[in-house]
Amino acid sequence: MGMMKHPGKGCDGHCCLKIENLGVKIDGSEILHDVSLHLHCGEIVALIGPNGAGKSTMIKSILGQMEHSGAISFQPAGGRSRKFRIGYVPQSPNFDPGDPISVLDLFSLCTQKAPVCFRVGKSQRETVLSCLRNVHGEGLIDKKVGALSGGELQRVLLALALEPVPDILILDEPMSGVDVEGMQTLMTMLDEIRRNFDLSILMVTHDFSMLSRFVDRAVLLKETVLTQGTPEEVLASKEFRAAFQMGGGQET
């Protein structure tokens, strides 16, 4: 009791994602082994670890894109009996600066089942605007995707991942290529989203300075879970120092 800064609403701390003894082998070499992790409703959890630790591999396993051993199970938030939804925000994809596609077009392409017609209807525009409102991005609707800044693109991708609202939102290094101010904005937005919607957030990040302020729990991964706990506990752990090879007082 009372361990989480912001306990999830209505879920009594139930797990919505349970990973048990996850293992991944690629071409005979072991990438992940014995990874066990529970994600509770309403939590924001940071997945940290050095490059090549297997963070993205773990995310791909959760997304069902990676062959693995062990069990990954999902429980919809609030005991809802519908299909479990995962929202995913990738590392910044590159759009050609000359790409004529607008944010509105991108949304229409991604969220409509029917092919996009030459003119996007008025009601569709309203729908996209309301999605963008979740990330304070209404003003981006007519911008070309290739002309967006790193931070703006992340917000658009985040808005897309929230349509429809998922049970878990997963972000894999969403801050790479985003400046300090952009990171603050993104983290504040994630906190707001977590409060407004009944979802959990799992994010891969290298920005340790944000952890204490915004994250309930940190999980240190390097082939397996080396340690987990509050951000303060994990950042002060000997496992953290060893994983990032920080010697006597060295700061990186």
Which residues are at the interface with Mg ion (CB under 5 A)? 55-56
Is the Cβ of residue 51 or residue 250 nearer to ligand ADP in the bound state? 51
Do residues 56 and 26 touch, judged by C-beta distance below 8 A? no
Q: Is 53 in the site for ligand ADP (CB under 6 A)?
A: yes
- Which of Mg ion, ligand ADP, none interacts with 49 (beta carbon under 5 to 8 A by kind)? ligand ADP
Q: 121 in helix, strand or coil? A: coil
From its phi and psi, is residue 70 left (phi > 0), alpha (psi between -120 and 50) or beta?
left
- Shortest distance, CB of residue 84 to Mg ion, whole angstroms? 23
Q: Is 31 in the site for ligand ADP (CB under 6 A)?
A: yes
Q: Is 52 in the site for ligand ADP (CB under 6 A)?
A: yes
- Which of ligand ADP, Mg ion, none interacts with 57 (beta carbon under 5 to 8 A by kind)? ligand ADP
How many CB atoms are located within 10 Å of the residue 193 CB? 21
Q: Return d(Cα 235, Cα 214) in angstroms, integer.
A: 14
Q: 241 in helix, strand or coil? A: helix
Maximum pairwise Cα distance, the chain: 62
- Shortest distance, CB of residue 29 to ligand ADP, whole angstroms? 7
- Kindly report the backbone phi and psi dihedral angles of residue 148, in degrees, each rounded to the nearest multiple of 5, phi listed first: -75, 145
Which residue from 2, 28, 51, 81 is in contact with ligand ADP, where contact means CB under 6 A?
A: 51
Q: Return d(Cα 151, Cα 175) in angstroms, integer.
A: 8
Do residues 127 and 134 touch, judged by C-beta distance below 8 A? no
Do residues 75 and 168 touch, judged by C-beta distance below 8 A? no
Is the Cβ of residue 68 or residue 194 nearer to ligand ADP in the bound state? 68
User: Tokens 């089942």 identify what position?
Assistant: 113
Q: Is 61 in the site for ligand ADP (CB under 6 A)?
A: no
- Which of Mg ion, ligand ADP, none interacts with 137 (beta carbon under 5 to 8 A by kind)? none
- Shortest distance, CB of residue 163 to Mg ion, whole angstroms? 24
Of 47-55, 68-76, 100-108, 160-168, the segment contacting ligand ADP by CB under 6 A is 47-55
- Shortest distance, CB of residue 22 to ligand ADP, whole angstroms? 12
Binding residues vs ligand ADP (CB under 6 A): 26, 31, 49, 51-57
